[in-house]
Each structure stands twice: as C-alpha cells, then as structure tokens.
Amino acid sequence: MSLLDKVNAMKMPFAELKGVKFTEVEKDRVVARMLVRPDLCTLRNTIHGGAVMAFADSVGAAATVINLPEDAKGTTTIESKTNFIGGAKEGQTVIATATPVHRGRRTQVWQTRLETEDGKLVAIVTQTQMVL
C-alpha cells in the first residue's frame, strides 16, 4: 500500500467534512487540496481563519501519522501557530503542503504552507504534534 493510499484509508471525519483531498504523500511532504465552499467562509465570501487552521491541522496530523515510530499509539496536536497572509475566495481551491521541521520520538513539528492554485500565499501554519 502506498503512503497516499494509507492516508486516504485513514478515517478522518473532520477532514472529510471540510472536503480535504490528499493528493501527494511522502515521508517529507504531504499535499492536500480543499475547495473554499460557502460554509467555510466568513464575510465577503472569504475563507474563514478557522477553516484555514483546521485544514492545516488535518494535513500536519496525516504527515505525523506516516512518520510515527513503530511503537506509537497515535498523535495529537499540542500547539499550532498560524500566520495569515492573504485570503481565498469562495470557489477557489486552497493547496496545503506540509513539510517537517522536526521529527523526534516524542514530538514532531510540521510547517504547512497554504496557497491558492495561482500561488497566492494564504497562510503559514506551524504545529507541534505529540507522539502518543
């Protein structure tokens, strides 16, 4: 089973609710897409900050899962920081790319860049995942 198949087989109900689609999965890079729907927006049909953060959290969590030590029971987010740079409008697709900053036995840190399809930076999220 490929890493992409493994991630797509994981039950991630909140990611599914948001419409997250994983497209590339490697140990050092996880990429997913999410359409900006009306129910993910705030004023002026712009993606809500919470949707941005939740999207990045799902991608960082998936990246952690495929990098867990053999004896780990799972993972949970213990810290997340978001720098909002720009917006994305309803109907646009946001692409999240997570790359590792640190992969240790007890914690992993991932940085996720979120951009529109035309390359406009929406946010940079750094999250720390605890290995359970």
Q: What is the per-residue pLDDT across 92-121, written as a single tens digit (0 to 9) for each?
A: 999 999 999 999 999 999 999 999 999 999
pTM of the model: 0.96
Sign of CA dihedral 8, 2, 55, 128: positive
Greatest C-alpha distance within the chain: 47
Secondary structure of residue 64 in the 3-state scheme = helix
Distance CA 122, CA 10 (A): 27
- Residue range 14-26, pLDDT digits in tens: 999 999 999 999 9
What is the distance in angstroms between the CA of the first residue and the CA of the last residue of the chain? 24
Secondary structure of residue 52 in the 3-state scheme = helix
pLDDT, mean of residues 37-55:
97
Sign of CA dihedral 70, 110, 96, 75: positive
Tokens of 17: 């609710």
